């Protein structure tokens, strides 16, 4: 009945499992993290049409929400801050979850040896993280969920993306899903399609209209809640 594997333990984890799981998500494979940071550093933003299109949609009229005021508060020009924010959001959502603070730390401390070597091994690091339990499906990562959710503040959400939940398959190659023909496309595949601007198949146009028929009349009174009976 249960097909859970890996971290979805059915036995109650001791409190000691908390540090270990967080270390797994945060620190376990520094090499992989470095690879992600290097990939971000080397990312060709100018060539990414979808990013550029999204950027045009949020600039030059800055978003009206409060994150706008956040962006104008610090010293860098608002546009630069917004673009940086958008980059982190976009990268987290469509390439790989990335923690802005840790990236900045990494960038500040990284020597030149980091970037070139790690960048070359990006693709394998992405698809074969050493500490992630076997899929399918892969375990979620709350730390990366958090990043995605935080990143939503960047007001750069091309398509009503799911809340923060969506990083589950970012470390997984889609072939892992091969066992079940009915299993949907992986999260990463969908993200990549959206990022490329591909049309995701199967989206239907639902008429935006109200029901012509009159609503039903209520015939029942409310039932008491269990806590109201006591």
Partner 1 sequence: MAGVLRFHTAGYNGYAIEYSPFFENRIACASAANFGIVGNGRLWCLGINTAAAAAAGPAGGGGGITADRVYDTQDGLYDCAWSEEHENQIVTSSGDGSIKLWDVTLSDFPIRNWSEHTREVFSVNWNLVNKDAFITGSWDQTIKLWKPEAPQSLMTWQEHTHCIYQTVWSPASGETFASASGDQTAKIWDVRQRASASTIHAHNAEVLALDWNKYNPNVIVTGSVDHSIKTWDVRFPSRETRVLLGHEYAVRRVKCSPHSGDVVVSASYDMTMRVWDTAAASPMVHVHDLHSEFVLGVDMSMFFEGQVATCAWDEQVTVSHVPALGHKKR
Among positions 133-192, residues that touch partner 1 (CB under 8 A) are 136-137, 139-142, 145-146, 149-150, 152-153, 157, 159-166, 168, 182, 184-185, 187, 190-191
Min separation Cβ 138 and partner 1, Å: 9
Which of 12, 60, 61, 179 lies at the binding interface for partner 1 (CB under 8 A)? 12
Q: Cβ closer to partner 1: 68 or 84?
A: 68
Q: Is the CB of residue 164 less than 8 Å from the CB of residue 149? A: yes
Residue 226 binds to partner 1 (criterion: CB under 8 A): yes
Contact predicate 91/40, CB 8 Å:
yes
**Interface residues for partner 1 in 204-223 (CB under 8 A)?**
204-213, 215-216, 218-220, 222-223
Task: Identify the burial level of 78 via C-beta atoms within 10 angstroms of its C-beta, where 0-12 means exposed, 13-18 middle and 19 or more buried.
Answer: middle
Size of the site for partner 1 (CB under 8 A): 72
Q: Which stretch binds partner 1 (CB under 8 A): 6-14, 32-40, 74-82, 113-121?
A: 6-14
In terms of CB distance, is 121 or 150 closer to partner 1? 150
Nearest distance from C-beta of residue 113 to partner 1, angstroms: 33
Contact between 43 and 95 (Cβ < 8 Å): yes
H or E, element range at 49: helix 49-58
Q: Which of residues 18-37 bind partner 1 (CB under 8 A)?
A: 18, 21-22
Residue among 17 and 110 whose Cβ is closer to partner 1: 17
Minimum CB distance to partner 1 smaller for 61 or for 222? 222
- Contacts with 193 (C-beta within 8 Å, 6 or more apart), sequence order: 199, 200
Distance of alpha carbon 115 from alpha carbon 67, whole angstroms: 31
Helix (H) and strand (E) counts for the chain? 11, 0
**Cα–Cα distance between 100 and 144 in angstroms, integer?**
11
């Amino acid at each position: 009945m249960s097909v859970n594997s890996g971290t979805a333990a059915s036995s109650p984890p001791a409190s000691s499992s908390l540090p270990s799981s967080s270390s797994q998500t945060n620190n376990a494979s520094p090499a992989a993290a470095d690879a992600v940071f290097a990939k971000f550093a080397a990312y060709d933003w100018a060539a990414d049409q979808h990013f550029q299109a999204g950027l045009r949609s949020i600039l030059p009229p800055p978003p009206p929400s409060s994150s706008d005021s956040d962006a104008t508060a610090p010293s860098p020009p608002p546009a630069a801050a917004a673009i940086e924010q958008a980059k982190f959001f976009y990268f987290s959502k469509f390439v790989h979850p990335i923690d802005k603070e840790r990236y900045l730390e990494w960038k500040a401390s990284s020597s030149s040896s980091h970037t070139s070597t790690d960048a070359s091994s990006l693709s394998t690091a992405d698809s074969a993280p050493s500490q992630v339990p076997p899929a399918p499906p892969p375990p979620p990562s709350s730390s990366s969920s958090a990043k995605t959710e935080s990143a939503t503040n960047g007001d750069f959400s091309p398509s009503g993306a799911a809340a923060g939940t969506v990083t589950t398959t970012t470390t997984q190659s889609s072939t892992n899903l091969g066992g079940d023909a009915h299993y949907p496309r992986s999260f990463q595949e969908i993200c990549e399609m959206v990022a490329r601007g591909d049309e995701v198949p199967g989206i239907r146009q639902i008429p935006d209209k109200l029901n012509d028929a009159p609503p039903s009349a209520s015939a029942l009174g409310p039932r008491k809640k269990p806590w109201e009976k006591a």
